[in-house]
Structure 1
Amino acid sequence: MSDKETPEQQRERLRKDELKKNPTGNVNDAFNRANNCSLVDLVGFLGWKGTGILILIIILGFIINSVFFH
């Protein structure tokens, strides 16, 4: 196997390095990208725990809405 990175791997590595260097600026970027329909960046920023919490909040909101407002 070759030790060279593919362009996709290099982009991903650079993106992760940028997240480590500037976390607060990237929070804003992630939420702005979410407004522009890029869920991949938002989920990538939140990680698996944050994504699980977000899904849990959505499910609980749906249950509360259906119990109290219908």
Structure 2
Amino acid sequence: MSDKETPEQQRERLRQQEFKNNPTGNLNDSFNRANNGSLVDLVGSLGWKGTGILILVIILGFIIYSVFFR
């Protein structure tokens, strides 16, 4: 079981391979990601519980907005 790589390790391995194959495109992507942020990085760092909480906060914020400001 230890020789199986986790999804995080697989994403990182694929990212490293892409960087080796296309360093200029990757540089452009990283500049844009630094300016805008990346939802994939956010969700990947939060895990499934954090993602669920984030979705609930967004839904509750929309409900509160629609009740009080419409």
TM-score w.r.t. structure 2 length?
0.51
Alpha carbons 1:34, 1:41 under 8 Å: kept: no
Partner of 1:54: 54
Shift in CA distance, 55/37, structure 1 to aligned 2, threshold 3 Å: same
Greater length-normalized contact order (CA 8 Å, ≥ 6 residues apart):
2
TM-score w.r.t. structure 1 length?
0.51
What are the superposed Cα offsets for residues 23-65 of structure 1, whole Å, 9 maximum, x if unpaired?
Answer: xxxxxxxxxx586241101000000000000000000000000
Unpaired segments ≥5 residues, structure 2: 14-32
Alpha carbons 1:43, 1:51 under 8 Å: kept: yes
Q: Report 1:26-37 matches (<5 A).
A: 36-37=36-37
Percent identity over the alignment? Answer: 80
RMSD: 2.9
**Could you list the runs of 4 or more consecutive aligned residues of structure 1 that deviate by over 3 angstroms after TM superposition?**
none
Partner of 1:15: none
How many pairs are equivalent? 45
Unpaired segments ≥5 residues, structure 1: 13-32
Partner of 2:12: 11
